[in-house]
Amino acid sequence: MTNSDKTRLRAIYLKKRLLLTPDEIRQKSRQISEKIPHLEQVENKNAIACYLAVNNEPNIQNIITYFLEAGRTVVIPAFFEKLKQYKFVTLSSLNNLEIGQYQIPQPLKLLPVDSIKIELALLPGLAFSEGGLRLGYGKGVYDRLLANSSTFKIGVCYDFQIINHFKSEPHDIKVDFIVSENRIIKT
């Protein structure tokens, strides 16, 4: 798949996602959020990477709250301006957030963590293949943060974002499961 093919796919799936109504996002996000905490692969994980939704991504704040209330460590990607790169940082609350790079919310106080210690990652994407390939925005943020990591990865998306196949690049990370409002797919 050429870069222009990936660019075209990104545009198609971002546009589809942006067409969702607030009610559709709420309903589908709730359905997704009810599935994830009860997966066997999630139950005993204590250090969990999550994301804060932008551009109509599935909203997983209920899952984040569940993990925080259960005493688990939650981290999210945050942009470090001085370093010009993303790192995982501790998220202790959904309060006291600011808008960071690419309009992505992040904590006011950035406390970086080592990604190797992360046991589970919930990852957004523009599209996922049934085989576990993830198509993000093309910045390689998660590919770099989770490279050489044994972290168990779950792609979080709406059902229409799951497609048969697309070609990946050697640096692209794969997810172990995909969870949508209608399906759970082991890849």
Measured on CA atoms in the order 98, 103, 106, 112, is the torsion positive or negative?
A: negative
137: annotated binding-site residue? yes
Query: In this structure, what token pair is assigned to residue 93?
Result: 């609350």
90: annotated binding-site residue? no
57: annotated binding-site residue? yes
140: annotated binding-site residue? yes
132: annotated binding-site residue? no
Q: Which CATH class is domain 3-186?
A: alpha beta
Contact at 8 Å (CB) between 61 and 51? no
134: annotated binding-site residue? yes
131: annotated binding-site residue? no
| pLDDT per position as a tens digit, 87-100 | 999 999 999 898 98
pTM above 0.85, yes or no: yes
**What CA dihedral angle connects 18, 155, 41 and 149, to 10 degrees?**
-140
DSSP string, 78-111: EEETTTTEEEEEE---SSSEEE-GGG-EEESS--
- With cut-offs at 50, 70 and 90, classify the pLDDT of residue 1: low
28: annotated binding-site residue? no
Residue 74 forms beta bridges with which residues? 48
72: annotated binding-site residue? no
| pLDDT per position as a tens digit, 124-182 | 999 999 999 999 998 889 989 998 778 999 999 999 999 998 887 877 889 999 999 99
Q: Any idea where the domains of the chain sit in the sequence? A: 3-186
- Between CA 12 and CA 115 the distance in angstroms is 31
